[in-house]
Structure 1
Amino acid sequence: MFAVYGLSGPIFRGTFERLGEVAAVARSRPVQPVAGEEARAASGTPSAQAISAYRQMLRVDGDRGPLYHAYQVMQRPVVSLFSEDTVERAWRLLLARRIHQAPVLDAGYRLVGIVSERDLLTTLNLDADGPRDIMARQVGDVMTTPVVTADPVTDIRRIAQVMLEHGVDGVPIVNESDALVGFVSRSDVLRAVITDPPLSLWR
């Protein structure tokens, strides 16, 4: 289950299939195949033969491992910022925690957006000593909103699909009370894939 949060609070809650109904959530351009690749993979070609051989070698032993949900791989406690925080404070926090983005809360601790290094760099000039020539702006001025979220029992494969289709590097995890309880980044998904026993990627 996914939800979208904006400055006015929750604006959508539903399944992954309905997430596309939210016009305010930007989608990244899908990856297009190289021209001619599909034609070269037609039956009887070397590409099709290789794919067929690979499939025959795969283990057909049912489920390869446990199905992971967001609550099993999410980061907690969550490193977050407030919309009233200065851009400089946000930059120093991301740097100190070695993270690339953080959820943004309003004064009432409600999720209203997400801010990334890219967002902050629009207002910062950096040198060897850190930020300089800082514009007097707050996190709320540069954050991305609305933000797509997931609930704790969402399949991480669906979360990975949201990251790809919506061009985001992480998804905040919000419970049924609209409280921020975790964060799933690309790194968290990759760590789940290489965990032993391995993640079941197909069923």
Structure 2
Amino acid sequence: MFGIYGVNGQIFSGRLEQLPDVRQVGRRRAVDAIGTAGAELGDAAARVLPESRRAASAAYRRMLHIDEERGPLVHARQIMRPQVLALAAADEVARAWRLLVERRIRQAPVLGRDGGLVGIVSEHDLLVALDPERGTAGAVMAQRVADVMTSPVVAADPLTDIRYIARVMLERGVDGVPIVDERQALVGFVSRGDLLRAVVADPPLSLWR
């Protein structure tokens, strides 16, 4: 399940298939999927997977001594970072820049006065804001995060399939997705790096089910 959050609160809540009906989120051009990317997301894919591939997959799992009872890693809560650096919309750009550099991260969710998700600010957003043609660096640094952040922003709940999150990143051209619970409270963050680490470090992840 996905949601879209902006300065006025939640704008949308629904399934992945409904997201295209909502206006594009994010400032960069969306990345085109490769070939028929996403076709594997349906449950029917498991039934049409060639026997040779199933046999090869089973042999690979036996070789790695994978615990079948552990099951595939598929939910956002299993790979998200629960300790999230969040900025306030009222924070100065200078503070946002300093924290991103100190924490060595490239983006951070932005919260409004009530603690709800209202946007996301990235290294890209800050570099664009520091464009000399828009004013002196000092003036930009004194601006508020709300002035430079990307909003609205797509978020997902903790039980969202990470393959769907990866698809949103590709189609919407974003590098991360905040994770919010049923109370719309920020509980984690999934970045491209988190997805790559899950694929590389956790063989039980099944990409083809």
RCO higher in structure (CA 8 A, sep ≥6)? 2
What is the match of residue 58 of structure 2? 61
1:16–1:57 CA distance, 2 compared to 1 (3 A): closer
Which residues in structure 2 correspond to 1:19-98 (within 5 Å)? 19-25=19-25, 28-30=30-32, 59-61=56-58, 66-98=72-104
Check conservation: 2:87, 2:111, Cα contact below 8 A: yes
Structure 2: state its 5+ residue gaps.
36-51, 62-70
The C-alpha deviation readout for 1:15-43, integer Å capped at 9, x for no partner, is: 0000111125256152577xxxxxxxxxx
The C-alpha deviation readout for 1:117-143, integer Å capped at 9, x for no partner, is: 0111123379xxxxx534231100000
1:167 is the counterpart of 2:173: yes
The C-alpha deviation readout for 1:51-105, integer Å capped at 9, x for no partner, is: xxxx769714399651321001101111100000000100000011110000000
- Residue 194 of structure 1 deviates from its aligned partner by 1.1
Equivalent of residue 101 in structure 1, options 98, 102, 107: 107
- Provide the TM-score with structure 2 as the length reference: 0.77
What is the match of residue 121 of structure 2? 115
1:137 is the counterpart of 2:143: yes
The C-alpha deviation readout for 1:177-201, integer Å capped at 9, x for no partner, is: 0000000000000000012334100
- Cα distance between partner residues in 1 of 2:112 and 2:174: 21
- Provide the TM-score with structure 1 as the length reference: 0.79
- Cα distance between partner residues in 1 of 2:193 and 2:168: 15
- Cα distance between partner residues in 1 of 2:171 and 2:16: 11
The two structures, once aligned, show a CA RMSD in angstroms of: 2.6
Select the structure that is richer in helix: 2
Structure 1: state its 5+ residue gaps.
34-54, 127-131
Point out the structure with max Rg over C-alpha. Answer: 1
1:56–1:199 CA distance, 2 compared to 1 (3 A): closer
Residue 59 of structure 1 aligns to which amino acid in structure 2?
A
Residue 23 of structure 1 aligns to which amino acid in structure 2?
R
Percent identical pairs in the alignment equals: 58
Q: What is the SS of the residue equivalent to 1:99? A: coil
